[in-house]
């Protein structure tokens, strides 16, 4: 998951031809068209033998589309920033856009930007940098217990679910809780990375080491769910291959139920 710039109406066009000049009013187009002004000039010269010649030159200048009037409320579907009363249209490629309070952390004076559920028809919101709230950099995270802006889910080129968290990697944890793992609420599309003990996550819960052994999963395995080569999510499962199953069983891959409103449920790999 480039917007057209919002410009001003073109000035009146002026046409000059010989000794006569006429002024015509410019035309203002609708929001989806552009306005154009053109002018032409001519000049005469006389050579040493008394003959004369005339040369002409025409120049056309095209301006951008005229400004659109903001009329869309928070969470309304949008395509351009200037359509939203807030001035921010948060857009996810292949999914669409919605009017919100922010697009980046810099739009929020007191914290970070919490992205909307890409499929939920919601708007982005500014926050105070609290634990579990959206962010792009560590600097906006204000809670000392959650100083890391960590990635929970990432769809390259589309969106990244990042929140102020306890940890970013296992290196930020230790002692009895050596694993940095996600807690994700699929209904609100929010979550946090926390330090957890071995075996803390049950079958079908999200993990961050897809297609690998992961001690934070009770099964010891973080299986990989791949959605159309766009979205990859680690989910605690029973197997990585048939070799992890009993004789005669096969390993069924992890998968994600997208349903009609986005990620609705996660299913780890199973031996069948």
- Is residue 34 one of the residues assigned to a domain? no
- The beta strands (E) that lie in 19-106 are given as 20-24, 36-46, 52-62, 77-78, 89-92, 96-99
- Comparing 54-58, 103-107, 186-190, 212-216, the range with the smallest average pLDDT is 54-58
- What is the Cα–Cα distance from 28 to 241, expressed in whole angstroms? 64
178 vs 149, 167, 185, 206, CA distance in Å?
18, 10, 22, 17
Q: What is the pTM of this model?
A: 0.72
Element (H, E) at 49: none
Q: Phi/psi class of residue 125: alpha, beta or left (left: φ > 0; alpha: ψ in -120 to 50)? A: beta
- Shortest CA distance to 139 belongs to which of 161, 108, 160, 169? 108
Check pLDDT > 50 for residue 151.
yes
Query: Does residue 207 register a pLDDT over 70?
Result: yes
Number of domains in the chain: 2
* Confidence band of 17 (pLDDT split at 50, 70, 90): very low
Both 113 and 182 in one domain: the answer is yes
- pLDDT digits 0-9 by tens, 100-113: 999 999 999 999 99
Q: What percent of the chain has pLDDT over 90?
A: 58
Pair (166, 258) in one structural domain: no
Q: Does residue 4 sit within a domain?
A: no
pLDDT class of 41 with cuts at 50, 70, 90: very low
Please say which residue of 197, 232, 261 terminates a domain: 197
Distance CA 250, CA 272 (A): 5
Mean pLDDT of 245-269: 87
d(CA 145, CA 150): 13
The residues, ordered by sequence, that sit 6+ positions from 198 with a Cβ below 8 Å of its Cβ are: 178, 179, 215, 216
- Indicate whether 206 and 234 sit together in one domain: yes
More confident residue, 172 or 34: 172
Domain coverage including residue 214: 198-272
Q: Pick the residue with more confidence: 256 or 53? A: 256
What confidence category does residue 31 fall into, taking pLDDT thresholds of 50, 70 and 90?
very low
Q: By C-alpha distance, which of 223, 228, 218, 213 is closest to 258? A: 228
User: Do 88 and 98 contact (CB within 8 A), yes or no?
Assistant: no
pLDDT band at 121 (very low <50, low <70, confident <90, very high): confident
Asked whether residue 96 falls in the same domain as residue 182, the answer is: yes
């Amino acid at each position: 998951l480039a917007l057209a710039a919002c410009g001003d109406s073109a000035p009146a066009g002026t046409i000059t031809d010989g000794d006569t000049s006429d002024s015509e009013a410019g035309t203002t187009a609708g929001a989806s068209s552009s306005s154009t002004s053109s002018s032409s000039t001519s000049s005469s010269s006389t050579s040493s033998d008394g003959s004369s010649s005339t040369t002409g030159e025409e120049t056309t200048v095209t301006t951008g589309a005229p400004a659109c009037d903001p009329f869309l409320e928070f969470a309304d579907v949008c395509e351009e920033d200037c359509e939203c009363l807030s001035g921010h249209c948060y857009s996810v490629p292949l999914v669409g856009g919605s009017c919100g309070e922010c697009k980046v952390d810099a739009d929020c004076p007191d914290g970070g930007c919490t992205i909307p559920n890409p499929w939920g028809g919601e708007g982005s919101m500014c926050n105070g940098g609290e634990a579990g709230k959206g962010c792009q950099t560590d600097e906006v995270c204000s809670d000392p217990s959650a100083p890391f802006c960590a990635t929970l889910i990432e769809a390259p080129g589309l969106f990244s679910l990042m929140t102020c968290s306890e940890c970013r990697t296992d290196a930020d944890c230790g002692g009895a809780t050596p694993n940095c793992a996600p807690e994700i609420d699929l209904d609100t599309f929010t979550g946090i990375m926390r330090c957890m003990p071995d075996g803390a996550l049950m079958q079908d819960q999200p993990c961050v080491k897809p297609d690998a052994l992961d001690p934070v999963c009770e099964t010891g395995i973080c299986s990989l769910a791949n959605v159309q080569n766009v979205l990859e999510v680690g989910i605690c499962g029973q197997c990585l291959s048939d070799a992890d199953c009993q004789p005669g069983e096969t390993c069924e891959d992890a998968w994600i139920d997208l349903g009609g409103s986005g990620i609705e449920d996660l299913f780890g790999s199973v031996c069948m």
